[in-house]
C-alpha cells in the first residue's frame, strides 16, 4: 500500500499509548477506529482524548472547532472485526508482552484487508518474530511512538527481516503526516535506537551504585548537570518505571547476551515493588520529598564511565548497521531529550579516552558489558564517530544556516527537542553564524527563527546554567550572552526575528537584539527570571527599556508574566502579528524587503542609533558624518533616479 492510499487507521489499545496515537492520527485528519477489549477501557481512552483536545483548544494550540472535528473522527470499538475490517493501517499498542501481541495479530489477521499494513508500537520486542505470526510479514514493521505521543516528536520506524521498502516508506510518510519526525531503524535489534542507548545507561548507573563506586546523588548530579541530560539516570528510571526498564533489559539480556545482564540493585527494586513514581517509591521516595539532586556532586570519573557505555552502544548500532551515526544522534535527542546526541557527546569527550576507560574497567572487573565494540574502536581510530565523509556533521551543531535567496541569510536555532533553549554551545554557534553571514557579500539581511512551531526560544538551558553555578562562572555566562546577542544588535545589516511560540527569558532577550520582530498569533513572550529569583542577565535589563520604555520594561520583568503577541505589539515590542501558518513566510518577506534596502545607509543608521543610546550628542555626530558619507554614493543616485522615474531602486552597496 502507498501512503497516498491511507485514509482509515485502526489503533489497537486505548491505554496511554493507544489513546495518544489515536489522538495524533485524528488531529492529522484520519478516521480512526480505537479498539480495546472492554467497553470501559475504550470509554476511558475516548474520555482522555476529549480532555486532551479541549486542553489544546484552551491553550489556543487549535480551535475548538478543530478539536471537535478531531474527536468526531474517533470511533471507540470493542469488536475486532468491526475495528479492522476496512482499514488501511493497523497500529497495535497493546501491553509490551510478546504473547499478548502475538494473540492480537492472530485475531486481527482474520479480519483485516489483504493490503493493510500492520505496525507495532513496541519499544524493544522483535518485529520479525511478531510479523511471522501473520500472513503478511512484508507488510509488517515497527512504529514506535514515545510517551506522550501528542507531545513527543520522534517515531522510530523499524524494519523487520521481512519488511518491504514500500511498507517502511509508507509508514515513514504517515509519521511525517502526523507531524512527527520518523527515524529509520534498519535492522530489528532489541531496544532499537533510543532504548538501546538509555536502558544500558540506566543499568550502568545502577551498577556504579551497587558496586559502591558512587552514590545515587553523585550519579544523578553527573548525568543531569555535568552531562546536561534532562533527568538524572535514577530519576529517569523512576519516571519510566523500574519494572519497565528491567523488562527491556531482560529481553536484551536474553537476545544479546551477558553485556546486558540487569543490575541486582534494579532487580531488588522491582522485587520490593518500588517501581518508581507510579508506586510512590523507587530510587527516590515520592511520598517523602521526591527527587532531590544536588547540582555540585558530579564526578568526572562517573561521567567518563557513563559516556563510555553510551559510546560503546553507538559503536554496536553502527557496526551492525542498525542505524548511521547521524540518525542515532537525532533519535536520542528527540526521543530522550539529550542536548547533543550520544555520538557527539562521545566525540567531545574523546573516543580514545573512552576506549581506555572501558578497557581498564573490563580488566578490573571482567564484566562483559565493558568489552569494547568493534564499532567504537574503529571510530576511535578514525578520530571520532563524525570523522567519515558521509557522517560529517553540519558546520554548526545548535543552529542551521540557510540561504533562502534575495540576499537573506537565515539562522535557525536548531534545538527543537529542548524548545530551542540557549546553551553556551548554542551561543558559540550563533556568534559564528553571525560572523559567517557578516562576511558574505551576498547577504544583506538576517532572518532569525527557532526550529519547530513550539518555541522561538523558551529561554536559557537551565541545566547548562546549573553546571556553571558559581558566582564567577555565572558572571562570565552573563557576559557571554550579552556579547553574543549584541553581535546581532551591532551587525551591519538589518536583523528580523520571526517568533513562533514561546520567546521567554533568554529567548526574549535574544529577540530584543533584532531590529524588527514578527510574531505568530500563538506566541507568548515574557521575562520570567524574577520567578526564579534571578534577573534577565543577557542584556534584558538594558535593551528592553529602550524598545518599550522603562515603565513597560519594569512591568514585564517585575511581574514575570507571559504576554501574548497582540499585547507585545501594543507595547511596541512586536512590529507585526501574523497568523500562525504564515509566520515564516511573512518574516522572510520582511527580511527580503530589508535586504533590498540601501546596505550602506542601513549600516550607518544602525551605527548612529547605537551611538546615541548613551550620548545623544555622539549619536548626532555619527549621524551627520554618515549623512556626509552617503551623499556622494552610487546608492543615493540610484535612489534619486528611481524616485524621479517612479521605479524601484536597485541598491548595490556602492
Confidence of residue 393 (pLDDT cuts 50, 70, 90): very low
Determine the Cα–Cα distance for residues 193 and 268; give it in Å rounded to an integer: 27
Q: First and final CA of the chain: distance in angstroms?
A: 59
Out of 267-276, 329-338, 415-424, give the one with best mean pLDDT: 267-276
Give the mean model confidence (pLDDT) for residues 181-193: 94
529 is catalytic: yes
Residue 353 has, within 13 A of its CA and on its CB side, a CA count of: 13
Confidence of residue 390 (pLDDT cuts 50, 70, 90): very low
Determine the Cα–Cα distance for residues 365 and 373; give it in Å rounded to an integer: 17
Contact 157, 192 (CB under 8 A): no
Residue 654 has, within 13 A of its CA and on its CB side, a CA count of: 6
Please report the pLDDT score of residue 484 as a whole number: 92
Determine the Cα–Cα distance for residues 433 and 227; give it in Å rounded to an integer: 25
Which phi and psi (to 5°) does residue 295 adopt? -80, -15
159 vs 613, which has greater pLDDT? 159
Q: What is the pLDDT of residues 489-531, one digit of tens each?
A: 889 899 999 999 999 999 999 999 999 999 999 999 999 988 8
Residues listed for the chain = 654
Determine the Cα–Cα distance for residues 131 and 514; give it in Å rounded to an integer: 54
* Three-state DSSP class for residue 258: helix
Residue 468, pLDDT above cutoff 80: no
- Rounded to 5 degrees, what angle do the CA atoms 628, 634, 636 make? 60
Determine the Cα–Cα distance for residues 103 and 42; give it in Å rounded to an integer: 19
* Three-state DSSP class for residue 441: coil
Report the greatest alpha carbon distance in the chain.
Answer: 87
Residue 388, pLDDT above cutoff 50: no
Q: What is the pLDDT of residues 597-609, one digit of tens each?
A: 888 888 888 887 8
Give the mean model confidence (pLDDT) for residues 338-356: 91
Give the mean model confidence (pLDDT) for residues 369-373: 95
Residues 6+ apart with CB under 8 A from 618: 611, 612
> Got the DSSP string for 327-396?
HHHHHHHHHH--SS-HHHHHHHH-HHHHHHHHHHHHHHH--GGGSPPHHHHHHHHHTSTT-SGGGPPPS-
Please report the pLDDT score of residue 59 as a whole number: 83
Query: Do 3-185 and 399-594 fold alike per CATH?
Result: no
Q: What is the pLDDT of residues 81-118, one digit of tens each?
A: 999 999 999 999 999 889 999 999 999 999 999 999 99
Contact 14, 49 (CB under 8 A): no
Contact 228, 339 (CB under 8 A): yes
- Rounded to 5 degrees, what angle do the CA atoms 312, 318, 321 make? 140
Q: What is the pLDDT of residues 112-167, one digit of tens each?
A: 999 999 999 998 899 999 999 999 999 999 999 998 999 888 999 999 999 999 99
Pairing of strands 154-158, 140-145: antiparallel
Determine the Cα–Cα distance for residues 434 and 400; give it in Å rounded to an integer: 11
375 vs 472, which has greater pLDDT? 375
Confidence of residue 644 (pLDDT cuts 50, 70, 90): low
**What residue ranges do the domains of the chain occupy?**
3-185, 193-382, 399-594, 598-645
Contact 563, 503 (CB under 8 A): no
CATH number of 598-645: 1.10.12
> Nearest to residue 447, comparing CAs of 516, 350, 351?
516
Please report the pLDDT score of residue 602 as a whole number: 83
Give the mean model confidence (pLDDT) for residues 13-37: 95
Residue 531 has, within 13 A of its CA and on its CB side, a CA count of: 10
* Three-state DSSP class for residue 91: strand
CATH number of 3-185: 3.40.50.720
Contact 325, 314 (CB under 8 A): yes
> Nearest to residue 183, comparing CAs of 2, 12, 326, 33?
326
Determine the Cα–Cα distance for residues 618 and 478; give it in Å rounded to an integer: 27
Q: Exposed/middle/buried for 159, CB within 10 Å: 0-12, 13-18, 19+?
A: buried
Residue 637, pLDDT above cutoff 90: no
> Nearest to residue 455, comparing CAs of 493, 490, 389, 505?
505
- Per-residue buried b or exposed e for 602-622, using 16+ beta carbons within 10 Å of the residue's own CB: bbbbbbbeebbeeeeeebeeb
Arch. (CATH architecture) of 193-382: Orthogonal Bundle (1.10)
Residue 331, pLDDT above cutoff 80: yes
Confidence of residue 589 (pLDDT cuts 50, 70, 90): very high
Residue 220, pLDDT above cutoff 90: yes
| Catalytic residue (choose from 529, 567, 576, 621) | 529
Residue 246, pLDDT above cutoff 70: yes
pTM above 0.85, yes or no: no
Helix axes 300-319, 351-365, angle to 10 degrees: 100
Pairing of strands 524-526, 502-504: parallel
Of 3.40.50.10190, 3.90.226.10, 2.40.50.140, 3.50.30.10, the CATH number of 399-594 is: 3.90.226.10
- Helix/strand/coil (H/E/C) assignment for every residue in 502-537: EEECHHHHHHHCCCEEEEECCCEEECHHHHHCCCCC
Determine the Cα–Cα distance for residues 50 and 42; give it in Å rounded to an integer: 12
| Catalytic residue (choose from 92, 218, 509, 524) | 509
> Nearest to residue 317, comparing CAs of 79, 181, 156?
156
Residues 6+ apart with CB under 8 A from 24: 145, 149, 150, 178, 179, 180
Contact 377, 415 (CB under 8 A): no
What percent of the chain is helix, strand and coil (3-state, nearest 5)?
55, 15, 35
Q: What is the pLDDT of residues 535-582, one digit of tens each?
A: 898 999 989 999 999 999 999 999 999 999 999 999 999 999 999 989
Determine the Cα–Cα distance for residues 609 and 614; give it in Å rounded to an integer: 10
Residue 639, pLDDT above cutoff 60: no
> Got the DSSP string for 167-189?
HHHHHHHHHHHTT-EEEEE-S--
> Nearest to residue 84, comparing CAs of 59, 56, 109?
109
509 is catalytic: yes
Please report the pLDDT score of residue 111 as a whole number: 95
Please report the pLDDT score of residue 51 as a whole number: 95
- Other Cβ atoms less than 10 A from the Cβ of 461: the count is 23
Residues 6+ apart with CB under 8 A from 239: 231, 276, 277
Amino acid at each position: 500500500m502507498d501512503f497516498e492510499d491511507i485514509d482509515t487507521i485502526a489503533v489497537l489499545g486505548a491505554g496511554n499509548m493507544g489513546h495518544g496515537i489515536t489522538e495524533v492520527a485524528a488531529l492529522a485528519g484520519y478516521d480512526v477506529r480505537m479498539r480495546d477489549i472492554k467497553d470501559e477501557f475504550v470509554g476511558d481512552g475516548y474520555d482522555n482524548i476529549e480532555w486532551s483536545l479541549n486542553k489544546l483548544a484552551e491553550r489556543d494550540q487549535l480551535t475548538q472547532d478543530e478539536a471537535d472535528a478531531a474527536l468526531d473522527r474517533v470511533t471507540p470499538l470493542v469488536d475486532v472485526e468491526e475495528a479492522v475490517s476496512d482499514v488501511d493501517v493497523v497500529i497495535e499498542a497493546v501491553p509490551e508482552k510478546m504473547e499478548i501481541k502475538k494473540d492480537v495479530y492472530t485475531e486481527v489477521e482474520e479480519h483485516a484487508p489483504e493490503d493493510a499494513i500492520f505496525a507495532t508500537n513496541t519499544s524493544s520486542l522483535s518485529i520479525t518474530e511478531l510479523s511471522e505470526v501473520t500472513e503478511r510479514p512484508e507488510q509488517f514493521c515497527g512504529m514506535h511512538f514515545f510517551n506522550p505521543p501528542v507531545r513527543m516528536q520522534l517515531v522510530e520506524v523499524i524494519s523487520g527481516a521481512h519488511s518491504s521498502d514500500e511498507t517502511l516508506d509508507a509508514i515513514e510518510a504517515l509519521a511525517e503526516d502526523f507531524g512527527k519526525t520518523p527515524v529509520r531503524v534498519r535492522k530489528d535489534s532489541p531496544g532499537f535506537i533510543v532504548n538501546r542507548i538509555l536502558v544500558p545507561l540506566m543499568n550502568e548507573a545502577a551498577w556504579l551504585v551497587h558496586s559502591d563506586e558512587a552514590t545515587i546523588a553523585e550519579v544523578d548530579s553527573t548525568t543531569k548537570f555535568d552531562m546536561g541530560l534532562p533527568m538524572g539516570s535514577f530519576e529517569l528510571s523512576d519516571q519510566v518505571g523500574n519494572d519497565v526498564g528491567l523488562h527491556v533489559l531482560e529481553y536484551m539480556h536474553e537476545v544479546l547476551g551477558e553485556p546486558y545482564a540487569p543490575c541486582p540493585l534494579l532487580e531488588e527494586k522491582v522485587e520490593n515493588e518500588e517501581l518508581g513514581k507510579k508506586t510512590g517509591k523507587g530510587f527516590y521516595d515520592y511520598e517523602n520529598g521526591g527527587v532531590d539532586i544536588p547540582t555540585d556532586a558530579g564526578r568526572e570519573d562517573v561521567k567518563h564511565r557513563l559516556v563510555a557505555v553510551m559510546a560503546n552502544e553507538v559503536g554496536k548500532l553502527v557496526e551492525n548497521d542498525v542505524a548511521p551515526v547521524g540518525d542515532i544522534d537525532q533519535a536520542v535527542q528527540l526521543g530522550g531529550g539529550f542536548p547533543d546526541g550520544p555520538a557527539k557527546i562521545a566525540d567531545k569527550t574523546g573516543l580514545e579516552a573512552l576506549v581506555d576507560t572501558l578497557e581498564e574497567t573490563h580488566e578490573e572487573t571482567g564484566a562483559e558489558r565493558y568489552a569494547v565494540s568493534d564499532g567504537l574502536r574503529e571510530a576511535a581510530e578514525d578520530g571520532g564517530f563524525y570523522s567519515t565523509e558521509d557522517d560529517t556533521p553540519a558546520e554548526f551543531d545548535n543552529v542551521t544556516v540557510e540561504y533562502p535567496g534575495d540576499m537573506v541569510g537565515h539562522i535557525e536555532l536548531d534545538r527543537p527537542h529542548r524548545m530551542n533553549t540557549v546553551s553556551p554551545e548554542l551561543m558559540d554557534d550563533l556568534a559564528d553564524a553571525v560572523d559567517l553571514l557578516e562576511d558574505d557579500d551576498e547577504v544583506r539581511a538576517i532572518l532569525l527563527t527557532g526550529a519547530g512551531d513550539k518555541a522561538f526560544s523558551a529561554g536559557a538551558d537551565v541545566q547548562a546554567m546549573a553546571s556553571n553555578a558559581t558566582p564567577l562562572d555565572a558572571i562570565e555566562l552573563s557576559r557571554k550572552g550579552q556579547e553574543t546577542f549584541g553581535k546581532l544588535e551591532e551587525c551591519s545589516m538589518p536583523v528580523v526575528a520571526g517568533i513562533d511560540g514561546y520567546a521567554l527569558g533568554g529567548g526574549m532577550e535574544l529577540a530584543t537584539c533584532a531590529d524588527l520582530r514578527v510574531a505568530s498569533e500563538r506566541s507568548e513572550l515574557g521575562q520570567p527570571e524574577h520567578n526564579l529569583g534571578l534577573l534577565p542577565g543577557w542584556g534584558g535589563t538594558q535593551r528592553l527599556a529602550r524598545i518599550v520604555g522603562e515603565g513597560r520594561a519594569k512591568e514585564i520583568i517585575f511581574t514575570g508574566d507571559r504576554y501574548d503577541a497582540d499585547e507585545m505589539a501594543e507595547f511596541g515590542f512586536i512590529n507585526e502579528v501574523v497568523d500562525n501558518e504564515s509566520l515564516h513566510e511573512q518574516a522572510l518577506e520582511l527580511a527580503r524587503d530589508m535586504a533590498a534596502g540601501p546596505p550602506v545607509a542601513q549600516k550607518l543608521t544602525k551605527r548612529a542609533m547605537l551611538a546615541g543610546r548613551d550620548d545623544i550628542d555622539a549619536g548626532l555626530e555619527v549621524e551627520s558624518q554618515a549623512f556626509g558619507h552617503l551623499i556622494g554614493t552610487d546608492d543615493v543616485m540610484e535612489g534619486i533616479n528611481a524616485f524621479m522615474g517612479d521605479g524601484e531602486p536597485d541598491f548595490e552597496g556602492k
